[in-house]
Amino acid sequence: MKTTMKLRSGATIPQLSSADAERKNYLTREVLNRMHLMPAGDPAAYDENEDGSITYFFDPARVTEAPPELWYAPAQKSETMELDSGVTITRMSTKRAAACGYYTAERLSQMHYDIIEEPVAYTLRNDKSVIYFYDKKTAIRQPLMCVSCGKDIRYRRKLCRDCFERDLAIRRAEGDLHRAAVYGMKRERVLFFDLELTGVYDHDEILSISITDGTGKVVMDTLVKPVHKKKWKQTEKIHGITPDMVTDAPTLEELTPTIKEIFASADVLIAYGVSTDYSHIKYIYATEAEREALHEKTRCASIEFVRFQSEHYPDLVHASLSDAMALLEIEWDGVAHTSIADTIGCARVWEKLFPNYYEN
């Protein structure tokens, strides 16, 4: 005999008789309606009626006051209907029902839900025929079908397993061609860079900047003294840069001419997660045109790794630089999460992904 039910939320609730539920002070939806209350969470238990319908029981500690329009309208509140099971439900308008998360059987079917509970409210058509409303929270979500073939249940990317595998094979072949292409870039004119920051917001400041080129040469590796921030305890735990370490470091303004000169010599600038680094380094340029020119040079190693991972290892979901290096079997050179180690790691990830990126 089935004694538990798994809800759409993932919670599992027990089956209880009405007497057992009453001993626990659980309330049915009918009682909640009379008390002008409505559930604030999942049911606490359930019971199966003789006709196969479900009655849910709710914990009184997890209820909330019903919207005032449900009980401050005497004409609506006074109109009720008794179902064959003996449960009494209240008449309400379609608008008010939707506000409570109640829908008709037809609408729930369109939303891909199956009804297992009795109606919780009703309304009348012009011809006085009855329209029942059901609670979406206690309806069961139907399996969604593949958007490609429409025959089987979705597996990934809204596709069934067979369609997903076919789509994956196509994407993998296209991605492998993209990564295996010959780009003929000059190693000296391909730069990799990484920043360590006081935080991730626009108002945060740069604490260190490292730049290497495609030959592995370290072009710049320096701490940077922030002008406004005096402490950064959260990010300090990650990169280890303390306020004392940057006391005698140059400011970003002092470094700007050199950084601009280095960037100007590059054909491509690559970072792992370039959007964050670009959003901070762009401010060394005064005009939008200069910033746009810098942005056109940038490439994101993270985006390329995510594409590779999704095509060859679709079960993996994490894609940090550490994840990329582990998957591609690349050893760290230095301490992870320092700008120089991350820059070197980014360069090695890029060369693994694009073995023919540089000219011979």
Residue 69, pLDDT score: 58
Q: How many Cα atoms sit within 13 Å of 93 on the Cβ side?
A: 9
Phi then psi for residue 278, to 5 deg, are: -65, -40
Q: Which parts of the chain fold into alpha helices (H)?
A: 18-23, 29-34, 74-78, 94-99, 105-110, 161-180, 233-239, 252-264, 274-281, 288-297, 301-312, 321-327, 339-353
Q: pLDDT tens digits, residue range 97-151? A: 888 889 999 999 998 899 988 999 999 998 999 999 999 988 998 888 999 999 9
Is there a contact between 221 and 339 (Cβ–Cβ < 8 Å)? yes
Give every CB contact of residue 144 below 8 A, 6+ residues apart in sequence: 112, 153, 154, 158
SS3 231: coil
Q: At what angle do helices 301-312 and 161-180 cross, to 10 degrees?
A: 140
Residue 112, pLDDT score: 87
Cα torsion for 16, 17, 23, 29, to the nearest 10°?
80
**Mean pLDDT in residue range 279-304:** 96
Give yes or no for residue 70 having a pLDDT over 70.
Answer: no
Q: What percent of the chain has pLDDT over 70?
A: 96
Choose the weakest-confidence range: 4-8, 76-80, 199-203, 274-278: 76-80
3 pLDDT tier (thresholds 50, 70, 90): confident
Choose the weakest-confidence range: 46-50, 267-271, 321-325: 46-50
Predicted TM-score of the model (pTM): 0.68
Residue 75, pLDDT score: 43
36 pLDDT tier (thresholds 50, 70, 90): confident
Q: pLDDT tens digits, residue range 294-321? A: 999 999 999 999 999 999 999 998 999 9
202 pLDDT tier (thresholds 50, 70, 90): confident
How far apart are the two ends of the chain, measured CA to CA in Å?
Answer: 71
Residue 71, pLDDT score: 57
Q: pLDDT tens digits, residue range 177-192? A: 999 999 999 999 999 9
- Range among 77-81, 86-90, 218-222 with highest mean pLDDT value: 218-222
* Closest listed residue to residue 57, CA positions, set 35, 37, 39: 39
Is there a contact between 123 and 109 (Cβ–Cβ < 8 Å)? no
Residue 9, pLDDT score: 76
